[in-house]
């Protein structure tokens, strides 16, 4: 496995691969890998001749009061895991390499970033769109793999690729979960034992929403009322948002249907967790009991 630390080395490699007619697959990450990241890499492995992943905790997508400094990092562990799943190269730049002095260019995707995390985390998707544009120009992938765990991010990237005519295929992968249903996240390490239990309120309430929809409920307000009640029945939870929106526009929906999804952002203690479910898709988690 190769490690590239500079933009130039990575670009030179990408150019050589393209000259040889190789198909480059790319998985961007912020590192501290869990099984969800590895599933994206396994998919990337199948989709290209040469699989690049990036590890970069991108400062421009964090707000001033967010967890940029304490975001978990462990390059050596990540390197071993990446090698085990057959990654060909890691692009691992530093902040200076990505944002040198006098840096002044940003990418803004408008409509689909207005709501949900776009409203709750000002500037977040501008940072995401900017760093992904840069990474795409550096790694020059034919195909890139993202997780549906960050559903609004996936829609933002698809929209940007379409609008800016980037010639890249995007694959969206289902959310990888712990056995009890908790969506895997690098931030789960922040949770205490008690908070870890309360964190189950997200996936379990999504399951309740799915059951209501399958039983014929189409009123978004009623589904959200039940979801809110359920999450708030757990200690240490504070709902940032719980919304049902259209999968294409990310605009709020009054009616639940297969063109909509429910998205949650919940603070559990000090840790902000997100999860979502697209109505009509699979959500395979243990049945929530006792509440």
Which one of 40, 90, 264, 265 is in contact with ligand AMP (CB under 6 A)?
40
Q: Does 175 bind ligand AMP (CB under 6 A)?
A: yes
- Considering the complex, state which of residue 40 and residue 155 has its C-beta at the smaller distance from ligand AMP: 40
3-class secondary-structure state, position 102: coil
- Considering the complex, state which of residue 178 and residue 259 has its C-beta at the smaller distance from ligand AMP: 178
Q: Which stretch binds ligand AMP (CB under 6 A): 68-76, 180-188, 200-208, 240-248?
A: 180-188
Distance of CA 184 to the CA centre of its chain: 10
- Inter-residue long-range contacts of 6-15, CB under 8 Å, 24+ positions, other chains counted: 6/93, 6/97, 7/93, 7/97, 7/98, 7/138, 10/52, 10/89, 10/91, 10/93, 10/138, 10/139, 11/138, 11/140, 13/89, 14/52, 14/138, 14/139, 14/140, 15/140
In contact, 250 and 114? CB cutoff 8 Å: yes
Q: Does 128 bind ligand AMP (CB under 6 A)?
A: no
- Considering the complex, state which of residue 17 and residue 131 has its C-beta at the smaller distance from ligand AMP: 131
Angle separating helix axes 151-163 and 124-139, nearest 10 degrees = 60
Q: Does 51 bind ligand AMP (CB under 6 A)?
A: no
Q: Does 161 bind ligand AMP (CB under 6 A)?
A: no
In contact, 83 and 3? CB cutoff 8 Å: no
- Considering the complex, state which of residue 186 and residue 198 has its C-beta at the smaller distance from ligand AMP: 186
Which one of 13, 37, 42, 210 is in contact with ligand AMP (CB under 6 A)?
37
Q: Does 36 bind ligand AMP (CB under 6 A)?
A: yes
Q: Does 206 bind ligand AMP (CB under 6 A)?
A: no
Which one of 29, 133, 198, 203 is in contact with ligand AMP (CB under 6 A)?
29
Which one of 23, 72, 123, 176 is in contact with ligand AMP (CB under 6 A)?
176
Q: Does 88 bind ligand AMP (CB under 6 A)?
A: no
Q: How far is the CB of 54 from ligand AMP (least distance, A)?
A: 9
Phi-psi region of 269 (alpha: psi -120 to 50; beta: other; left: phi over 0): left
Question: Catalytic annotation on 37?
Answer: yes
Q: How far is the CB of 128 from ligand AMP (least distance, A)?
A: 9
- Hey, which residues does 277 pair with through a beta bridge? 262
HSE (side-chain half, CA atoms, 13 Å) at 134 = 25
Using CB atoms within 10 Å of the CB of residue 171, give its burial: 0 to 12 exposed, 13 to 18 middle, 19+ buried.
Answer: middle
The two tokens of residue 29 are 């990450």
- Considering the complex, state which of residue 61 and residue 260 has its C-beta at the smaller distance from ligand AMP: 61
Positions that interact with ligand AMP (CB under 6 A): 29-30, 36-37, 39-40, 146-147, 149-150, 173, 175-176, 183-186
Q: Which residues are catalytic?
A: 37
């Amino acid at each position: 496995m190769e490690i590239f630390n500079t933009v130039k080395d990575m670009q030179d490699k990408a150019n050589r691969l393209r000259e040889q007619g190789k198909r480059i697959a790319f998985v961007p990450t912020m590192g501290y890998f869990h099984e969800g990241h590895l599933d994206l890499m396994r998919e990337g492995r199948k989709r290209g001749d040469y699989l690049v992943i990036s590890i970069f905790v991108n400062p421009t997508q964090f707000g001033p009061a967010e967890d940029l400094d304490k975001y978990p990092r462990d390059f050596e562990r990540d390197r071993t895991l990446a090698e085990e799943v057959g990654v060909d190269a890691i692009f691992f730049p530093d902040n200076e390499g990505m944002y040198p002095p006098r840096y002044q260019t940003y990418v803004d995707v408008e409509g689909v970033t207005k709501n949900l995390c776009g409203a709750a985390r000002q500037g977040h998707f501008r940072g995401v769109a900017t760093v992904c544009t840069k990474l795409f120009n550096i790694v020059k992938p034919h195909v890139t793999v993202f997780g549906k765990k960050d559903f609004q991010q996936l829609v933002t990237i698809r929209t940007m690729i379409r609008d800016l005519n980037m010639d890249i295929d995007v694959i969206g992968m289902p959310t990888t979960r712990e056995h009890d249903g908790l969506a895997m996240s690098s931030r789960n390490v922040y949770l205490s034992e008690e908070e870890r239990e309360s964190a189950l309120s997200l996936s379990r309430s999504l399951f309740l929403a799915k059951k209501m929809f399958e039983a014929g409920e189409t009123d978004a307000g009623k589904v959200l009322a039940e979801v809110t009640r359920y999450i708030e029945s757990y200690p240490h939870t504070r709902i940032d948002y719980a919304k049902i929106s259209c999968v294409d526009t990310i605009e709020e929906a009054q009616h639940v249907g297969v063109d909509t999804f429910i998205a949650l952002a919940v603070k559990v203690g000090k840790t902000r967790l997100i999860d979502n479910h697209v109505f009509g898709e699979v959500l395979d988690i243990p049945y929530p009991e006792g509440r």
